[in-house]
A = this chain, B = another copy of it.
Amino acid sequence: MKKLINNPQNVVAESLRGFGLAHPEHVRVNEDPLFVSRAGGAVQGKVGLVSGGGSGHEPLHAGYVGVGMLDAAVPGPMFTSPTPEPILEATKAADGGAGVLHIVKNYTGDVLNFETAAELAEAEDITVKAVIVNDDVAVEDSLYTAGRRGVAGTVLVEKIAGAAAERGDDLDAVAAVAQKVIDNVRSMGVALSACTVPHAGKPSFDLEEDEIEIGIGIHGEPGRHRIAMADADEITERLLTPVLEDLKVSDGEEVLLFVNGMGGTPLSELYVVYNHARDLLDQRGLKVTRSLVGNYITSLEMQGASVTVLRLDADLTALWDAPVDTPALRRGL
């Protein structure tokens, strides 16, 4: 294992300390318990947004703390859910008196710990609602998950719900916008290589030299099937087709196309995937009116990518276009 780390047990803490030092205009890092909140603190009268989950998916979630997106993020240990205590403290830090929305990826540990934290927060008179992101069409009931996994769609939920909160929507309305994104977004990913969790010291799964895994999870959970290495166009079609079938898109609809890198794949390859996905969407009569390409939710140094499609309407488009100013996503500010 060759990594730019010191003691494997300290990677998350050291990394977040560096993150806080690099982005003082955006975030404040609380070391104990460990969570990240906006540099300016909670915004009075605004719904607070909190997300979190195991580390190793950077820039998710801490990279999305800032104006127009999250109010706080709770990074757990690598690929491991944070406990209720830091989630509770992050919820308190995000509360501006208008309630807090928890955006939770559908993994059993995350769901349970966010639920417990929400109960504790309610006991302190903070109103909490939660949405569960489960956009991965690859498999049901995966490792760590009952139902579908939450993957790249989470970035879109955080951006769009964050914009709704910023414009002054109340808690029910922000939760409804987040749920609307969840209802209209689907993803599927591929791994060309595994990744290595620092404290494990060896790859989280094995792939043969000429083998790839279609439908991989962001922790390396098994996907739909392993196939021999194929060209990018074929892989893109194998990811996009189930996404579109599940989303039941119709001719003429407007969509956002998001090609996400797993961390170890060059940006040039992500655009090769995007290029063919565009052709496939064109052929189906869909209009790609918004796009996102890059490493936005990763699996450490895993080589691979995911394809996400979000069905848009005028309101979701406007919220997507709204200003955002975070360490990892900035636009229009």
Contact = CB atoms under 8 A, between A and B. Distances in A.
Interface of A: 2-7, 11-12, 14-19, 21-23, 55-56, 58-59, 63, 192-193, 209-210, 212, 229, 231-233, 235, 257, 263-276, 278, 288, 291, 293, 295, 298, 300-301, 303-305, 330-333
B18 A275 contact: yes
12 contacts: A4-B269, A5-B272, A11-B268, A16-B271, A18-B272, A19-B274, A21-B278, A22-B257, A22-B291, A56-B268, A58-B266, A58-B267
A327 to B, nearest CB: 8
B14 A272 contact: yes
Given A212-B2, A305-B4, A268 B232 contact: no
Given A11-B272, A21-B278, A56 B266 contact: yes
A256 to B, nearest CB: 11
Contacts of A7: 231
Q: How many copies does the complex hold?
A: 2
Contacts of A331: 330
A4 B305 CA distance: 9
A21 B248 CA distance: 24
A304 B3 CA distance: 8
A190 to B, nearest CB: 8
A72 to B, nearest CB: 18
Given A6-B272, A22-B291, 15 more contacts: A11-B272, A14-B271, A15-B269, A18-B275, A18-B276, A21-B274, A22-B271, A22-B293, A59-B267, A263-B267, A264-B303, A267-B295, A295-B295, A301-B303, A330-B330
Given A268-B12, A291-B22, A192 B330 contact: no
Given A23-B291, A212-B2, A266 B298 contact: yes
A193 B271 CA distance: 23
A211 to B, nearest CB: 9
Contact of A266 (B210, B263, B274, B288): B263
Contact of A232 (B4, B267, B304): B4
Contact of A301 (B6, B12, B264): B264
Contacts of A268: 11-12, 15, 55-56, 58, 300
Contacts of A18: 271-276, 278, 293
Query: Which 8 pairs, one residue from A and one from B, show the smallest C-beta to C-beta distance?
Result: A18-B275, A18-B271, A4-B269, A58-B267, A18-B274, A15-B271, A22-B291, A15-B268
Contacts of A56: 266, 268
A12 B209 CA distance: 25
A2 B235 contact: no
Contacts of A3: 192, 232, 266, 269
Contacts of A332: 333
Nearest to A4: B269
A232 B6 contact: yes
Given A18-B274, A293-B22, A231 B264 contact: no
Contacts of A305: 4
Contacts of A275: 14-15, 17-18, 21
Contacts of A63: 267
